[in-house]
Amino acid sequence: MVIVVSSLFKTADWKTEKHVPVIEILGKAKRGEPITIRVSVGKEIPHPNTTEHHIRWIRLIFWPEDSNFPYDIGFVEFNSHGESTQGPNTSGVYTEPIATFTFRTKKPGRLIAFSYCNIHGLWNSEKELKL
């Protein structure tokens, strides 16, 4: 079986809920200094965050200019979706699909974020990192 990567990841959101990870560079990115990146799902329109329908994880990758390989910056898993021993959506504890990553680089490049919805699969977005 051959998997076509372009069909594996979705990149266009729907009108009623958001899945595409939003990449924000916090502050001014400077060469060799810590750069903080915030990745969230549902910034404009919240994604459902229930036991039955939630964002399970976010991953951030950085691909420097003139590099053959990307770097895995980090992975965040969201584990509380309202479930408890009393059943679905009974705990009142829900993690929000927001993650912050900090790293240093001396090269500009592309930030690539991935998210996974337990119902609607894999999503991604990209943003250029200028220094």
Sign of CA dihedral 42, 45, 48, 49: positive
**Which residue in 33, 117, 128, 130 is the catalytic one?**
117
Catalytic residue from among 10, 17, 43, 107: 17
Which position among 10, 43, 120, 127 bears the catalytic label?
A: 120
Contact 99, 91 (CB under 8 A): no
Among this protein's residues, is 117 annotated catalytic? Answer: yes
Identify the CA nearest to 37 among candidates 107, 99, 88, 105: 99
Is 43 an active-site residue?
A: no
Instruction: Please identify which of the residues 43, 47, 83, 127 carries the catalytic annotation.
Output: 47
**Is 17 assigned a catalytic role?**
yes
Amino acid occupying residue 89: N
Active site residue 47: yes
From 10, 53, 107, 127, the catalytic residue: 53
- By annotation, the residues acting in catalysis are 17-19, 47, 53, 117, 120
